[in-house]
Copies of this chain bind each other. A is one copy, B any other.
Amino acid sequence: MSRQKPKLARIADSLGVSTATVSNALSGKGRVSPELAERIRATAAELGYVPSVAGRALRTGRSGVLGLVLADISNPLFPKLAQAIENSAAKAGYGILIADSHGDVAAQTQAIERLIERGVDGMIVVPRRGTWVTGASCPVAVIDSPSTPGNTVAADHWSGGQGLGVHLVSLGHAHVLLLGNNQSSNVQNDRLGGVKAGLGSARVETVWIEKLESTAGQGCSLGLEEAVARGVTAIAAVSDLVALRALTELQRAGIAVPEDVSVTGFDDLIWSSVVTPGLTTMRMDVATIADIAIAAVLEAINQPKSAEPRRGDGETVTASQPKVPMELVLRQSTGPARTSASHKDNKTENLTAGELIQ
């Protein structure tokens, strides 16, 4: 409880040395005798010295802050992601400034603009499908999907999907309905493509919800009851939100999950574990993804200016490990494929003997 905020000068003349020496001692950069350095550190701690970010930023040109740009901050995956990123950044001594582009490109550009004006040293961008990152004047890491050009790091959505596919096959499912939202999303294509690959020779149908809703209206039925009647025994959704929609639509129609039909999702969102039945899903390792993204940006920031003539910042950085494996979370929404007889209303009784056995 000394006077005021102690600055570098106070601790300096408290020891009778110059501010430069104090600065050097605390940052460990210049040449300071070990014992003096120790004394300086001690009194700094004692006085409760806290360096002024503003002063440092002004001199060094680094703010110690990274921007996090979310295409859609209301995406339910955002909490986990933001938490992970904030965590990784904090470990590296960086702060996270958030910016929301409400899913639209102009707003995203504006948001990036604001971040730049705020002097961020780098950015993490989670773009919306199609959206692209206009040249910012600082290193940018992009988290989208490995198949997106310019992507820095992301979950291995394709392999994750494949994992779900083989899981369903191992349960005997041979006729699966894939539920996607938007066909132009790289992530969604990767996920469903992976599922399809994992399913091997199983029969597959795909429904794109946005396309369906554009004709049948927002919040329309997904026609799952009819699909089940057609013989579908499993539904693989592109996200837990879609899976939840499917689950409730099925239950409302009196179709039992997983006895009549299995349901899988993606992301292990917060509700996946509390619904009945619990949702089998494919979780992404956000912590690792965040670590890699942050590391990549920081590396670019600390690059010795690249010695090039062009002020070649603004490039999207690359990471050593661009794809991070996903993890299968088994819950109760998946089970053995029903044989036709076990479907309570026997709409599927006219199957062949072979199909019955399978």
Contact = CB atoms under 8 A, between A and B. Distances in A.
Nearest to A76: B270
A343 to B, nearest CB: 16
Contact of A63 (B54, B100, B244): B54
Interface in A42-69: 50-55, 57-58, 61, 63-65, 68
Interface string A270-284: 110111111000000
A347 interface: no
Nearest to A311: B4
State the copy count for this chain: 2
Contacts of A116: 50
Interface in A246-270: 247-249, 251-252, 254, 256-257, 270
Interface residues of A, number: 58
Contacts of A75: 79
A241 B270 contact: yes
A87 interface: yes
A95 interface: yes
Interface of A: 50-55, 57-58, 61, 63-65, 68, 73-76, 78-80, 82-83, 86-87, 90, 95-100, 102, 114-119, 219, 241, 244-245, 247-249, 251-252, 254, 256-257, 270-271, 273-278
20 contacts: A50-B116, A57-B57, A65-B118, A73-B83, A73-B86, A74-B79, A74-B270, A76-B270, A76-B271, A78-B82, A90-B114, A97-B97, A97-B98, A244-B244, A244-B275, A248-B251, A248-B275, A249-B276, A252-B256, A252-B277
